[in-house]
Chain A
Amino acid sequence: MTSQRASVPAQLDHILHEMSEVRVTPKGERRVRVDLAADRLPTLLQLLKGHGGFLHLSSISCVDWPETDEFELVYHVWSYESKMLISAHTLIAKSPGRFVSVYDIHAPAGFYERDIHEMYGVHFEGSPNLNKFILTSWHGPPPMLKSFDTRAYVDETYAWRDYNPQWLKDIAAKGGGIEE
């Protein structure tokens, strides 16, 4: 296992030496974390796809960090040849919350960018279709933002069913009951 861990950066060296300011952290067997600036990310994906065989964009994740007012975008790419998953992390500012689409490098990005646009409000320039998909009946803010409180929304929108049967009253009379 140690030899594999040591070999991870070696396999990537010929790709990553072309890029400056990239931090590579092996995260275990077959997992590598790469941190880089947002403007370098499409270049990295292009290089990984062209020279490293990282053909499969497994997923794009978005994480909301309200303290620093940033979104963290994570691109997970998998290589069918070297059997390794690279997670490229990058940070973008929450306002204006725009980023460039990687659809022309990886077609699956179309779905994930549409999803992130819907759930977080990030706009991906050049993405083929950013129309609403899942939330067509939704008129509120992007729901996955940390600033959106789903519990408060539910309390405001829906009524709770009255539920107070006799056995619960008996328990409450003895000092028990449902904790709120």
Chain B
Amino acid sequence: MRPENYKPVRHPPSHEYELYFGPNHPGIEGNYAIRVRLKGDVVQEAITDAGYLHRGFEKIMEERLWVQNVALVPRICVPDPVPMEESYARAVETLGGIEVPERAQWIRVLMLEMSRICAHLFTFGGNAATIGLYTNMFWGVTMRDLFLDIFEEITGARIYHMYITPGGVRRDLPDGVLDRLAAVLDELERKKPEFDDLFFENAVVINRATGVGVLTQAQALAWGVTGPNLRACGLAHDVRRDDPYLVYPALKFDIPTATSGCSLARMHVRRAEVEQSVRILRQVMERLRTVGGPVRAHLPNPLAWNVPAGEAYARTESSKGELAFFAVSNGGPKPWRIQVRGPSQMHGVQVLERILEGARIEDVAQIMFSLDACPPEIDR
């Protein structure tokens, strides 16, 4: 309703105009905004605007005990929470010199790869929705729900598991969950041709996504891009292989790459990564049937932990790229400083701003989704 004292505002000539893309916009990933200056429908300049999801994690983690933060860390990245738990736990383990039992390491890899598949399926759905293909979103989300059921069975929660703690995992796997996971993986593989048919062989996708949002390898290296976005430019870098953690050296998997660095190439890399994750999960499930032992190192009362002074930089390959936790302890019961290096802090801000220049307005949402930026990770 128009205010009583309404007075029209004079606007500048409208061949060049500014548009607020988000935060209240269905094409934006999460609660995030991009201010785009347009000429016609071509983006002249894009300025990202974050902070809508700022919770001050780094501050409130300093106010809580080391073990209390286990509940806090998965909330930093909503679609892909497990790598957060893993990074934090590994940072604490490095500081305290804690050895993780072998069975716990295998379980952690199981969780990490399931989380990667979930995040990629979600991105598939979101990416397709930005170019108007809603069926894909329905299928992707439904398929992801099958994995969430397995998560729920193992940890008791669908989204925020709080399962990986310093020294291992909270509890052992329930009986028979590996068989059910195998059935879910079979279902995923059975559905794969249908997904391909719907997305990668779809003329709409090919026409809209090929050659859009191109990132060259030189640009990607200069701007600190990691993860699938870097691999889509042809550099086979993966923290799982190059800076290995847990039992990844004992696993066989490939690092998929593409060369063109466009939106479609990034989605192809993610598709291949899902295949590799399935391959890893099959190996892990086989090993979990034979490897026994405890799932948690013997540690003192968690409420009385005083982690030895020092600093640790724990890197993990999340579904978005290189995730790192920098933890500093002064020997006290609470962390002195924890910094979160989320991969989206690179490709969701500076890189997004730069590759949006010259893009068309209808491709803005698609480019953002194909980069898979995760706003809560940027805001923290």
Contacts and interface: CB of A to CB of B under 8 A. Distances in A.
**A–B touching in complex (CB under 8 Å):** yes
Interface of A: 28, 30-31, 33, 55-59, 61-64, 74, 76, 78, 80, 83, 85, 87, 106-108, 110-112, 115, 119, 133-137, 143-144, 148, 150-151
Given A63-B337, A107-B222, A107-B350, A58 B324 contact: yes
Contacts of B56: 143, 150
A83 B54 contact: no
Contact of B324 (A59, A62, A134, A150): A59
B227 to A, nearest CB: 12
Interface string B27-67: 00000000000000000000001110010101110010000
A115 B378 CA distance: 10
Nearest to A132: B51
A74 B326 contact: yes
B59 A150 contact: yes
A80 B54 contact: no
Contacts of B50: 133-134
Contacts of A61: 326, 337, 339
30 contacts: A30-B243, A33-B311, A55-B221, A57-B224, A58-B324, A59-B341, A61-B326, A62-B339, A74-B326, A76-B324, A76-B326, A78-B243, A85-B313, A87-B311, A107-B222, A107-B224, A107-B350, A111-B346, A133-B49, A133-B51, A134-B54, A134-B378, A134-B379, A135-B51, A136-B51, A137-B51, A143-B56, A144-B59, A150-B59, A150-B63
Nearest to A115: B345
B372 interface: no
B237 interface: yes
Contact of B313 (A87, A135, A148): A87
Among B50, B58, B313, find the residue whose CB has the most chain A CB atoms closer than 10 A.
B313
A112 B58 CA distance: 14
Contacts of B311: 33, 74, 87
Interface in B309-334: 311, 313, 315, 322, 324, 326, 328
A74 B59 CA distance: 18
A108 B328 contact: no
A107 B351 CA distance: 10
A73 B205 CA distance: 45
Given A28-B94, A55-B221, 11 more contacts: A31-B313, A85-B315, A107-B224, A111-B345, A133-B49, A133-B51, A134-B378, A143-B56, A144-B59, A150-B56, A150-B59
A111 B339 contact: no
Contacts of A133: 49-51
A55 B243 CA distance: 16
A119 B338 CA distance: 13
A106 B226 CA distance: 14
Contacts of A76: 313, 324, 326, 341
Which label, helix, strand, loop or mixed, suits the secondary structure of the B interface?
mixed
B223 interface: yes
A94 B54 CA distance: 25
A150 B54 CA distance: 14
B63 A151 contact: yes
A55 to B, nearest CB: 6
A64 to B, nearest CB: 7
B346 to A, nearest CB: 6
A108 B58 contact: no
B341 A63 contact: no
- CB-CB nearest 10 A-B residue pairs: A108-B224, A134-B51, A59-B341, A61-B339, A61-B326, A63-B337, A134-B54, A83-B242, A107-B222, A107-B223
Contacts of B59: 143-144, 148, 150
Contacts of A110: 350
A58 B56 CA distance: 21
B349 interface: yes
Contacts of A74: 311, 326
B73 interface: no
Contacts of A56: 221, 224, 226
